[in-house]
Amino acid sequence: MNPMDELRAARPAHLGDAPVDEGTRARELTYAMSHPRKARRGRKVVWPVWGISLAGATAAVAAAAVVVTGTGGAPPSAPDSVAQPAATATATATKVRLSAREVLLAAAEKAGSQPDEMGAWWHTSTMQRTLHQVAEGGYTVVERQRSEGWTSSATGGEQGGTYQSLGARPATPEDEAAWRRAGSPREFEVKVPGKPRAITLSTSPRKPWGGFSPLVDGDKVFWLGRNVTMKELRALPSDPGRLKAWLLRSYKGHDTESESVPMASDPWLYRVSTGLILDMPVTPEVRAAAFRMLADLDSVKVIENVTDAEGRQGAAVAVEEKVRDSVMETRLIFDQETGRGLASESVVVEPGDAHAGHEPGTVVGTTTVLEAGWADSRP
Amino acid sequence: MTDDQHRFTGVYDECRQRVWAYVVSRSGRQVADEVVSETFAIAWRRLEDVPDPALPWLLGVARNVLRDTIRAEARREALAQELRAWTEGDVADQVTERIGVLQALAALGDDDREILVLVAWQGLSPKEAARVVGCSTAAFRVRLHRARKRLKQAMEPAGPSRPRVRNNLSEEWS
């Protein structure tokens, strides 16, 4: 053996790749993110959480994958208010293409008449679920991650929140049977597309962590084709045509996630405006305008009788996208009674290599909005 | 949770233990957590500068943090203790043959040891490792070649008297 091979083999165990302990991880992440970000120009800064799973093609898997790296999970038996795993949540969807426009216009009416009283903090509470195929044992697990986001409405304020992985569990009863046959492991390796190394998920929850940092440039709160201030967000046009024109001023012909990936204006508008409906602090009139704007896009369709991963009934407005070698559908699920956004989902339509083990119709990633509203103070 | 926070967490989970292991091999365990903590605070602040793969960049930052924040004297003491731990087998799984290699590594100078650790334990290519230590790839290859030679000599049991652990500052930070 040459000296380098001997040296490689002699690495002391404590310098190996054992996972960092939870307390250290939570402390270091919190410490790092308590520092202000360096200001930058031209790039997106503040994606609300839906952006991750929404960016579906590039992100539902790719970005969610980043999230999942090294995160653990809750025991399969842990109590959970959600009865159904992501994989089975939308089995009853029926497509009603003709009424798409009417469904969206009706939602606009409901959304426009919701109450709105601004507070000191915009608060969102979301649950993200991501499917992973376990390398050994041939079963699929779903990992759940909970986040709380807080954004100050004041110039010079802060933005931040907490974040926790609740652990991974077998996705369906069949997966659970396969997991038991594999010896009911509490940890399993999953392969994430685009990552060289397999990552280890656990059935146990991880410690929550989080932190607050000053708003980007002192006043930018969210990304909407470009970074916007709370004031700009609250003053968006409530006319659908003018809203569309306002948003399209930031459209440069490419994907929201990558300047080298071309993107048509309809899917771009859909992706950017999802936040207006789902979890951004816009006025009810602007949320209504977003529904009306979507109603006029040819490439979106409406799916009625959809159930989100929390078991809530609604309708979905959806677009199809080619993501690498897969065709994926992104769905924005909303409550037809109130026009409120409930969830965004990424669904396999034609599985390519990255989704080889997923049947068409499988929801591979979903973010549900549990709460989005104003508060007077943050914890 | 913003997209940046997601990305940062991903980088942290992928690289944290590698950065920690590098810092331990340079300065021991006592100061490692502090240096790692500062390294990731810088990575967060400059997230848009963090390339993919992130590890070589992070190791370069950790190297600067170590130089700028930890007194040379404190570093030397902590490192001496760490190197003793490698070779005296306080690490549970130590096997006798490995101890010989680790003793040889501990006996080398800081520069040689750093170069060998970056390549053998961190798995960096000469190009990536050269960026960490701040020299050209060609210069790094030469230094790696010499370090390997000295490691081999130090591993030979009947060899001439072994070099001792050196504490030469000018050499450390070159």
**Contact status, residue A218 vs residue A155, Cβ threshold 8 Å:** yes
Q: How many Å lie between the alpha carbon of B55 and the closest alpha carbon of chain A?
A: 13
- Are A6 and B25 a contacting pair at CB < 8 A? no
Consecutive H or E run containing A311: none
Return the pLDDT at A37: 66
Return the pLDDT at A152: 92
Consecutive H or E run containing A260: none
Return the pLDDT at A38: 58
Return the pLDDT at B52: 84
Most confident stretch, A31-35, A289-293, B70-74, B77-81: A289-293
**One-letter amino acid for residue A239 of the chain:** D
- Are A69 and B13 a contacting pair at CB < 8 A? yes
Return the pLDDT at B19: 95
Q: How many Å lie between the alpha carbon of A312 and the closest alpha carbon of chain B?
A: 23
What average pLDDT does chain B have? Answer: 82
pLDDT band, residue B1 (cuts 50/70/90): low
Q: Cα separation of A205 and A186, whole Å? A: 11
| B4-61: pLDDT as tens digits | 787 898 899 999 999 999 999 999 888 898 899 999 999 998 888 888 889 999 999 9
Cα nearest neighbour of A160 on chain B: B1
Tell whether B151 is within 8 A of chain A (Cβ). yes
- pTM equals 0.64
Return the pLDDT at A223: 82
- Are A24 and B92 a contacting pair at CB < 8 A? no
- Closest CB to B86 among A12, A25, A52: A12
Q: Rounded to 5 degrees, what angle do the CA atoms A47, A52, A55 make?
A: 105
Tell whether B68 is within 8 A of chain A (Cβ). no
Which structural domains are found in chain B, ordered by start? Answer: 3-172 (1.10.10.10)
Task: Output B102 or A1, whichever has higher pLDDT.
Answer: B102
| B126-156: pLDDT as tens digits | 999 999 998 999 999 999 999 999 999 988 8
The DSSP call for residue A36 is P
Q: Cα separation of B173 and B136, whole Å? A: 16
The residue ranges of chain A whose pLDDT is under 70 are 1, 36-98, 193-197, 257-259
Edge-to-edge, what's the strand order for the sheet holding A94-95? A94-95, A301-307, A313-323, A326-334, A341-350, A363-375, A121-133, A140-152, A158-170, A209-214
